[in-house]
Each structure stands twice: as C-alpha cells, then as structure tokens.
Amino acid sequence: MRILVFDSGVGGFSVAREIGKALPDAGMDYVADLAVFPYGALEPDVLIDRVVSLMDEALSALDPAALVIACNTASTLVLPPLRARFKLPIVGTVPAVKPAAEHSRSRMASVLATPGTVKREYTHDLIETFGGDCRFTLVGSQRLAGLVERQFSGEQVTDAELLAEIAPCFVEDGGKRTDAVVLACTHYPLVLDRLKALAPWPVEWIDPAPAIARRVATVTEGAEPSRDEGAPNRFYSTGRRPGRAMLDAFGFVDGEAFFRDDQPKSDADGVKAGKTALSI
C-alpha cells in the first residue's frame, strides 16, 4: 500500500513523519507544488484548478491507496472538488479548532496560520461550530511558512524573525492569557522546538499531524497493494527541491518526473491553472 502526500511546499513532511509512525509498512509518495509556493498568493479558483489538475496526473501515475492534502490553505478549498472527482479516500488538513477549545483552560486560544487560511470562511465556520466559549485570535503570518522553507534549504533564519511571526498569538487580557496555539500550517511543526523556546510563556501547541495519520490508517485499513508496492518513499516537485539532507532526514529519495507539459507561467501574481512537470 502507498500513500500520496501533497503540499505546496515541504510542510507536509510533518504529516508524512506521523503517517510513517502509524503505518510503518506503507510506502509514501510526496508531491510539492514548489513552483508556486505559497498558495496564499493564488486566487481561490486558480488554486482549485491547479490542485485538481496536478492530482489528475499524480493519482494516475502513482496509484495510491489514499491521498492526503497536507496543506491547510488548499484543504479549505479543494476537498469538495477532489472528493467529487476521485473515488479513493482523501484526508484533508484543517485548523484543529475543536481540540484547542477542549484543551484551553483560560478559554483563550490562537490559530497560527497563513493569511489564506485565516481569511477562509471555512476557518471561521470551524470556530463558530467548535469553538464554544473559547476566544480565538486568528494570526495570519505572512512569513513563517517561507522562513521554514528557508531554514530547510540551508539558509539562516534568526530567532527574531520567528518571534515576530508568533508574537501576535500571545494575548493577555483581564488577568488571562493564551494557553493554546493551533499550528494551522503543516510547515510550522517542523520548527516547533524553536517556537517553544521563543514563546513568551508556555502554551499547548496543537499539531494536527498525529490525528491525520490516525485517520489515514483508518481509511486505508484492508487496502489492496499499490502498483509500486515495495518502492522507496519518493519525492516529486513542480519546481526546486529541498536539499539532500532534508530528504534523507525524512526518508525520501528523488522521484523521476512522471509527466512533462507546457505548464504556463503567467501574470505578475504567479501562474495560471494547469499542469507543471513534476520532477526532482
């Protein structure tokens, strides 16, 4: 059995790591759409068309037992169209509002996310439905996901840069203060040790990856062998790729490109929807 993990960048490695723990005998393929990272810069219809197009090609080529959309920004938009088009189990990643509300004793929690996730109606509906009497502060970090990408490409990222992105999560009011922070971007758990060390005070950091892995294990129970059963975990990208050290750390090898097309580059804001060559 093989699992396909998809993200706009390397953040999905935090989810792949937990899937590996929950399903040690399963193989994984990872697709990163680094040609247009970050997804928050894309208009919703462009993002939907792009992800559906990429998954058309990836699912045909890789034959997974399940697809994991390890990206909050994408999941808040693309899960319905993907589930309408494809028959395999599809597991998304959405802000863990309910666990935060359940764990917060001060009744003050924050959602640390990308601007795209913060502005989605889906995120606000989660808080309305599952937040109860917990007061949520929504923090749309402009730079944190990119800082994580930079760190894992070997560049120096300072403590001051990270602290500036997480500081708005820490709120004091009326003698109470934030005691839970939802990591609503899969990039963020990759630098969790640094975030904990920089936090103004201790909080519970809510990482959804273990719950996602448990869900994947449930929906793939009894799945038939995949086409490339026994192949190593493989990494594919529409653009650049992480350094060899990062792929080694997460147990992935370079995958051969499985299609090449005339994916258009486009306007000043990024790219139009369509296909991109997935390669090393």
- Active-site residue numbers? 71, 185
User: Max CA-CA distance within the chain?
Assistant: 58
Q: Give the CA distances from residue 247 to residues 119, 232, 255, 256, in Å, rounded to whole numbers and listed in that order.
A: 32, 12, 11, 15
Identify each DSSP E strand in the chain by its residue range.
2-7, 27-32, 66-69, 90-91, 108-113, 135-140, 172-173, 176-177, 180-183, 204-206, 234-237, 253-254
d(CA 237, CA 32): 5
d(CA 41, CA 45): 12
- What Rg value do the Cα atoms of the chain yield, rounded? 18
CB 253 within 8 A of CB 232: yes
Tokens of 89: 């189990």
Burial class from Cβ neighbours inside 10 Å (0-12, 13-18, 19+) for residue 18 reads buried
38 cis-preceded (ω within 30 degrees of 0):
yes
